[in-house]
């Protein structure tokens, strides 16, 4: 017997993130993946223009992804997620190319940054639940040689990360202190999500 109830509604992850998919798979969940088409850059730009916090913007983006898929699959529980990195007031996007990744890491080293990490659940036209986690990571004063070695080792894999590091891989060497759930750092607050899925009747209690 799996972890999900036999009478549970279908579960859909509205994300193209391989990391989020792997987190749910390792938790023993059965789900489909549907990647929404959302203009994230425009939504994020609008959120900043309106003076939203990074956390509010992350929820807005997660809502946009989940709502788009939920309208097409009204019987399913659709999960959307988003993560925004903030360092000393600056919002970071995924780097453009390896030079952009190097610039990201140089900007973050020796400083603490927050990962505003949102997850939402939709069904039909309504949001059923949302959660915002804000892990805080402090990067050590990494020398250029170590940054170059990391980028050479990781290659373009870092381009999928807002911070240009993969904390679940060699990127862990960059940090001297971390606060927050490991899964939330990777992009999905898993423990709060599983608690809600149990309460809603998707996962066995």
- Beta bridge partners, 79, equal 13, 121
Q: Which tokens sit at 62? A: 């997660």
C-alpha dihedral sign at 55, 15, 186, 164: negative
Query: Which is the catalytic residue, given 39, 63, 82, 93?
Result: 82
Q: How many CB atoms lie within 10 A of CB 39?
A: 10
d(CA 79, CA 81): 7
d(CA 114, CA 120): 19
Q: How many CB atoms lie within 10 A of CB 57?
A: 23
List the one residue out of 36, 86, 42 whose CA is nearest residue 66. Answer: 36
CB crowding 103-123: b at 16 or more within 10 Å, else e: ebbebbbeebbbbbbbbbbbb
Q: Which tokens sit at 59? A: 């929820």
Q: Which tokens sit at 95? A: 């780097």
Specify whether 199 is catalytic. no
Q: Give catalytic residue positions.
A: 82
């Amino acid at each position: 017997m799996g972890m999900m109830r036999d009478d549970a509604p279908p579960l859909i992850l509205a994300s193209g993130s391989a990391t989020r998919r792997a987190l749910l798979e390792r938790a023993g969940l059965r789900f489909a993946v549907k990647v929404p088409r959302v203009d994230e850059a425009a939504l994020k730009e609008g959120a900043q223009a309106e003076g939203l916090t990074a956390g509010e913007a992350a929820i807005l983006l997660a809502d946009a992804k989940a709502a788009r898929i939920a309208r097409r699959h009204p019987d399913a529980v659709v999960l959307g997620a988003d993560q925004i990195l903030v360092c000393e007031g600056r919002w970071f996007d995924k780097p453009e190319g390896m030079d952009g990744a190097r610039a990201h890491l140089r900007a973050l080293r020796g400083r603490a940054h927050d990962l505003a990490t949102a997850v939402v659940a939709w069904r039909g036209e309504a949001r059923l639940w949302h959660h915002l986690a804000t892990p805080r990571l402090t990067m050590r004063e990494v020398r250029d040689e170590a940054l170059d070695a990391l980028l050479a080792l990781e290659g373009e894999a870092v381009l999928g990360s807002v911070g240009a590091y993969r904390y679940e891989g060699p990127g862990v060497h960059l940090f001297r202190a971390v606060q927050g759930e490991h899964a939330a750092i990777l992009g999905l607050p898993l423990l709060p999500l599983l608690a809600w899925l149990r309460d809603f009747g998707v996962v066995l209690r």
